[in-house]
Amino acid sequence: MESVVSGRSRHPSENERLSVQHALVKSIMGGKLLVAPANLDLPNLRILDSGTAQANWLLDLAAVVPDTARLVGTDIATGQFPPEAQRPSNMTLQKQSIFEPWDETMVGSFDIVHQRFVLAACRSDEQAQRAVASLVTLAKPGGWIELHEGNMVRIQEGEAHKAMMRFRDIAVAAWASIGQLPDPGVRLAGWLRSAGARQVHALVQTVSIGAAARNTHEAEWSTELCLNMLRTMKRMTAGKADFPDEHEFDRLEEELRDELQRVGNQWYYYLALKPPEAQRQSPVINDHGQDGFDGAFQSRAGSGVDVQDGHNDWMHMIRAYYDFQVDERFESQRDLAGHVDLKRLVEGRAGAVFWSVYVECPKEEDDFSDALHLHSLRDTVQQIDLLYRIVGLYPDKLEIVHKSQDIMRIFKSGKCASLMGAEGLHQIGNSSSALRIFHRLGVRYMTLAHGKNNLYVDSATSKAPVHHGLSSHGRDMVREMNRIGMIVDLSHVSEAAMVDALNVSRAPVIFSHSSAYALVPHARNVPDHVLDLLKENGGIIMISFIPWLTNKEPEKSTVDDVVDHIVYVGDRIGYHHLGLGSDFDGMPTHVQGLEDVSKYPNVVARMLERGISPEDVEKVIGLNLIRVLRDVEEFAASHRQSISVLEDKVPQLWDDGIRTHVKRLYPNAEHDKPHGNIG
């Protein structure tokens, strides 16, 4: 960042930090140098790296692009540039501040404009907007812009993260003391849009630090990056009032190193992409959309993604209409009542489905007693068993998912990867033990509420709020769900509860079947300010096919309305935060063009027709959901021992006389509440 530049070069430790930062980001991106799906094999490409520093990124890029590519790096600290002898002949490095006008010959001349972690040097949002606007002018009409920025403010908090929290507070204060921005990433996409960029894609990347990292290299790099930044803060604030002295900084460095090696933490950095307009022309697709579907996915190197539905009520349909009975007709009959059967799943290219094991809320509106909820617990067990029975009857068609890594393997084998979601905390019978058992049985998300309030949270459609968001029990339950790896689902909850849960959850959350409130102002839909919080959280909203959530005039709703919601959310917070959650068999009707599960390809075709890139379509129809499931699993694996188990409070079974007798029989035994995490 330019604030620590003195003359022609940066402090030597800054050079080290930038090298470590480049290695870490490259590793997190799987070795890729660009997120933008730009064709680097084209001849005569012109590529700009603003804030290039030691030109690490350009030097790596030079090894993979043709010699005809023209690589330009700019930075205010020219002393960091590699010697001429180490630069390839097609690379030019020159002095340029992001705050100064660019040479007119550079305007509109680049196929790719790239910049990483530079806007923190801006002294205001207005200055950052001007800097971004200048970068936008440098791209050709058919050029890509890819910007990366961080957020020093948002980290994991709590008793186990005291040193990291102290480091964060010092860093934020240090940036503020020189008038700079500690969290430019969260506004990055907005600055691009303010500059006139259209179809901006915004991604949020989790950076797991120290013990939470994915491998030893990333653990070492991320830890060293934090410690190096702390040393930078030490230099920046030397002699200033209200900041630690040298000895306090040294002590904090040791505490931070120890803490990161023991429990780790997480940071977030943000990517904003402006794709070229030429890339967004509609492909040729036939009426059914299958050509577009196949062309987008079968021909792409890599994923081979099929549709993943985040919410499907087939289990409830079987319980309600077929009286819980399962037989051969579920395979052989083409037209079972409702929206779902096995043959139509195959026709619709369903690669994975979250089957809802929904049961109805108790009829009493605000009675949260245990006794009233026991039947909900029993019925949920029956619904879980129902899915296991169907999978047992048709093992060549369906397979239960227990880990995110199972999904791709299962549907590549020709089967539908089957997951479960429970639709309301009324289903656990007010018992965290039941939540954990459900998770062991394969339930991977828990909707916090359905149509009525419960002990934990207010529903979006209850008569009146009781908790005005999450209750204290609800906050504890969200933490427990994070701890065990259960995804928090916020569909059906009140707006206040959405905000509360997003503030409490340290793992990504989902809206399993909701849409955009800005397009259809229904209580079940998600307002813009909540979408913005969802982006920071790293979660996803799975756009529903429910007519009354899709169009203000439900009887006129079509597949194009569904795509309107996808495009709206994608433009606002990025396609990294989208999925599909149909609610098939959970609604009495359907939107035109999405009559049942065989019609999934129609929404894919419409997305392509609207100019959504194949890469983003892949994310929407499946890759984002896999990512969230994986991130929730990884959070649980790295924090299971640092978050206390939420234990049920049970009535005292023995009277004091018996308990006293036991203590006398075993005088040397532990008689107090056990310590530690077991669960």
567: phi then psi, degrees, rounded to nearest 5: -65, -40
Distance separating alpha carbons of residues 187 and 190, to the nearest angstrom = 5
Q: Are 401 and 310 in contact (CB under 8 A)?
A: no
Enumerate the H helices of 237-313 as residue ranges.
246-262, 290-297
Exactly one of 201, 339, 439, 513 is catalytic; which is it?
513
Distance separating alpha carbons of residues 98 and 135, to the nearest angstrom = 8
Query: What per-residue confidence (pLDDT) applies to 489?
Result: 98
Strands, sheet with 139-151, edge to edge from the N-terminal-most edge strand: 91-95, 70-75, 46-50, 110-116, 139-151, 265-274, 201-209
Q: What tokens does 244 get?
A: 């630690």
Query: What per-residue confidence (pLDDT) applies to 296?
Result: 37
Extents of the domains making up the chain: 12-274, 307-640
Exactly one of 423, 596, 618, 631 is catalytic; which is it?
423
The sign of the CA dihedral 599, 421, 320, 451 is negative
Decide if 450 is catalytic.
Answer: yes
Exactly one of 146, 183, 313, 585 is catalytic; which is it?
313
Decide if 583 is catalytic.
Answer: yes
Query: What per-residue confidence (pLDDT) applies to 328?
Result: 64
Query: What per-residue confidence (pLDDT) applies to 282?
Result: 26
- Contacts for 279 with CB less than 8 Å, ≥ 6 apart: 142, 613
Exactly one of 114, 161, 201, 311 is catalytic; which is it?
311
Exactly one of 450, 565, 577, 590 is catalytic; which is it?
450
Mean pLDDT in consecutive groups of 10 residues from the start of the chain, 679 residues: 37 77 86 83 94 96 95 94 95 95 94 91 86 93 87 81 93 84 80 76 76 89 92 89 93 95 81 55 29 36 65 92 74 72 88 94 83 89 95 91 92 90 96 96 97 95 94 96 98 97 97 97 96 96 97 95 96 96 94 93 89 89 95 92 86 86 86 53
Nearest to 40 by CA among 14, 77, 10, 70: 70
Query: What per-residue confidence (pLDDT) applies to 187?
Result: 80
How many CB atoms within 10 Å of residue 535?
24
Query: What per-residue confidence (pLDDT) applies to 679?
Result: 52
Exactly one of 22, 492, 590, 639 is catalytic; which is it?
492
Query: What per-residue confidence (pLDDT) applies to 12?
Result: 63
Query: What per-residue confidence (pLDDT) applies to 279?
Result: 37
Return the half-sphere exposure (C-beta side, CA atoms, 13 A cut-off) of residue 620: 30
Query: What per-residue confidence (pLDDT) applies to 278?
Result: 38
Please, is 327 exposed, middle or buried when counting C-beta atoms within 10 Å of its C-beta (0-12, 13-18, 19+)? exposed
Query: What per-residue confidence (pLDDT) applies to 285?
Result: 24
Instruction: Report how far apart, in Å, the C-alpha atoms of 638 and of each of 148, 226, 242 are.
Output: 26, 19, 35
Query: What per-residue confidence (pLDDT) applies to 331?
Result: 60
DSSP H or E run through 94 = strand 91-95
Polymer length in residues for the chain:
679
CATH architecture observed for domain 307-640: Alpha-Beta Barrel (3.20)
Distance separating alpha carbons of residues 582 and 317, to the nearest angstrom = 14
Q: Are 297 and 285 in contact (CB under 8 A)?
A: no
- The answer to whether domain 12-274 and domain 307-640 are alike in fold is no
Q: Are 252 and 234 in contact (CB under 8 A)?
A: no
Enumerate the H helices of 178-266 as residue ranges.
188-194, 216-236, 246-262
pTM comes to 0.58
Bridge partner residues of 493 (DSSP): 459
Exactly one of 149, 495, 561, 583 is catalytic; which is it?
583
Decide if 648 is catalytic.
Answer: no
> Which listed CATH number (3.40.50.150, 3.40.640.10, 3.50.50.60, 1.10.3720.10) goes with 12-274?
3.40.50.150
Decide if 311 is catalytic.
Answer: yes
Decide if 277 is catalytic.
Answer: no
How many CB atoms within 10 Å of residue 207?
19
Distance separating alpha carbons of residues 280 and 277, to the nearest angstrom = 5
